[in-house]
Amino acid sequence: MIYLMPLALLPAIVLCVYIYKKDKADKEPPKLLATLLLAGVGVALIAMLVEMALGALLNAAFGLTGDYDGSGDLSAFSGRLYYFIEAFLIVAPAEEFFKWLFTWKITAKNKNFNSLFDGVIYCVFTSLGFAAFENVMYVFQYGVSAALMRAVTAVPGHMFFAIIMGYFYSMWHLQYQAKHLESECVRLNYMKQPAASAFNTRAPLFKSIVLPIAVHGAYDYCCFVGTVLSTIIFYVLLIGLYVYCFTLVKKQSDKDTFSGRLALGMVIWKYPELNETLPQETINYVRGVQPLQTNAYTQQTNAYPQQTGSYPQQTNTYTRQATGYPYPQTNSYAQPQSGAYAQPRTAPYPQQTSGYTQQPNAYAQQQSRGYAQPSANPYSQQANPYPQQTNPYSQQTNPYSQQANPYAQRPEPPAAPDNNP
Weakest-pLDDT range from 44-58, 242-256, 381-395: 381-395
Examine the pLDDT at 333 and tell me if it is beyond 90: no
- Can you give the residue ranges of every domain in the chain? 4-274
pLDDT of 352: 47
Mean pLDDT of 387-395: 51
> Is pLDDT of 362 > 50?
no
- Inform me whether the pLDDT recorded for 278 exceeds 80: yes
Q: What is the mean pLDDT of the chain?
A: 78
User: Which position has the higher pLDDT, 111 or 70?
Assistant: 111
Mean pLDDT, to the nearest integer, of 52-78? Answer: 84
Contact call for residues 133 and 41 (beta carbons, < 8 A): yes
Position 329 scores a pLDDT of 44
| Whether the model pTM is above 0.75 | no
At 283 the pLDDT is 81
Q: Note whether 49 and 139 are within 8 A (CB).
A: no
**What is the average pLDDT across 20-43?**
94
Tell me the mean pLDDT in the region 372-378. 47
Q: What is the pLDDT of residue 383?
A: 53
Least confident of 37-46, 142-151, 192-201, 287-296: 287-296
How far apart, in whole angstroms, are the C-alpha atoms of residue 293 and residue 316? 23
Report pLDDT digits (tens) over 232-258: 999 999 999 999 999 999 999 998 888
% pLDDT > 90, the chain:
52
pLDDT value of residue 24: 87
- Confidence (pLDDT) at 368: 41
Mean pLDDT, residues 143-163 = 95
